[in-house]
């Protein structure tokens, strides 16, 4: 009878060790899953911000006058503000003559949900436009 009792104790110890290993493996997998979901959400948010900047860039580029190209838009769902700016480019051609009417159209995305203070650009997109 004592041999059977000792064998039963070893089985119980093996089950406890197996459950511990299983619990550690499940905890590791859940942390990996949580990290991948966080990364997917961050990528989805940055893609939405890029789409918002692209939309404002296209809209501003289609305006016929330079004054109309300065636009502002907000996205309350993302908590972002998009603002376009226009900067003249000082450039000369191969003959050394200045090229007039060449501008950089820039759209900046700023997070409006941040702390009080100056809003730093989260992302910037820019293109060259020519308006004589």
Write down the pTM of the prediction: 0.73
Whether residue 69 contacts residue 105, with contact meaning beta carbons closer than 8 Å, is answered with yes
pLDDT by position in tens, the chain (length 132): 455 655 567 888 899 999 999 999 999 999 999 999 999 999 999 999 999 999 999 999 999 888 899 999 999 999 899 999 999 998 888 998 888 889 999 999 998 887 545 567 788 999 999 887
The full set of domain ranges for the chain reads: 2-130
Q: Quick one: tokens of 81?
A: 């503000």
In angstroms, rounded to a whole number, what is the distance separating the alpha carbons of residues 9 and 20?
A: 17
CA distance 3 to 30: 41
Pairing of strands 102-111, 121-130: antiparallel
Those residues whose C-beta lies under 8 Å from the C-beta of residue 35, and which sit 6 or more positions away, are none
């Amino acid at each position: 009878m004592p041999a059977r009792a000792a064998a039963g104790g070893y089985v119980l110890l093996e089950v406890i060790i197996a459950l511990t290993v299983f619990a550690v493996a499940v905890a590791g997998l859940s942390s990996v899953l949580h990290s991948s979901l966080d990364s997917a959400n961050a990528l989805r948010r940055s893609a939405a911000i890029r789409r918002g900047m692209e939309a404002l860039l296209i809209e501003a580029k289609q305006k016929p006058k330079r004054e109309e190209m300065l636009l502002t838009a907000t996205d309350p769902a993302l908590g972002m503000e998009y603002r376009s700016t226009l900067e003249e480019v000082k450039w000369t051609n191969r003959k050394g003559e200045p090229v007039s009417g060449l501008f950089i159209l820039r759209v900046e995305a700023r997070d409006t949900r941040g702390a009080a203070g100056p809003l730093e650009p989260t992302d910037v997109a820019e293109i060259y436009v020519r308006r004589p």
